[in-house]
Structure 1
Amino acid sequence: VLKPIRVPNPEQLHTCMDDAEGFTKANTLEWYARFDDAEPAPVMPAEAPASGLRCEGGNACPEGGIWWTPAQTDSRQSFKKGDIMPAFHDSSYGATIWYKETNQSAS
């Protein structure tokens, strides 16, 4: 985020203190660039709709239709009423919450 507004030719961040080693021009540049090669932040899945049905993984599906969960990519699938909704316990997203699609169109 800050890279576009970074000072193009920075001097040292702090030259020194009496009892501490200060920044050199080289490690000042390293400090400024410390996130330049970092992995991009993970893209958060779309937020759940403000209204509509939801069901926690492990529970019976309350209504048949197409459901999706942000706990796993490409999770969109059809469930019948009473089907047990899968729970993805190893998901880095957290709890598995399923959301019923409200704009279903026949294809």
Structure 2
Amino acid sequence: MAGRLLIGQGHTVTLHARDTARAGHARAVLPAAENVLVGDLGSLDGIRSVATQAGAAGRFDAVIHNAGVGYREPRRDRRRPVPAVHGQCARALPADRVDAAA
């Protein structure tokens, strides 16, 4: 897990989870994480919620965007969530919160 490696190197890490149950699991697995942002990136409302939480969390030196849709995940509807997750999420984080020089 990238978060474990980064924390081991002395970095401050904020995680993301799709829902509160997964957030609790993430926190249990990596208790040294500073924060866990919660929101389903398969919907525009979820993307906006995570972006708002990220904006409130302060500046980030880097963002590792590795969210995806697992092949074992049940489909909630007929639309394909991959374009939303990969296309819109990366642009939703306020640009002034990421240090471009990092």
Smaller-chain TM-score range? Answer: under 0.3
So what's the TM-score if we normalise by structure 1?
Answer: 0.21
Structure number, greater radius of gyration: 1
Structure with greater strand percent: 1
Structure with greater helix percent: 2
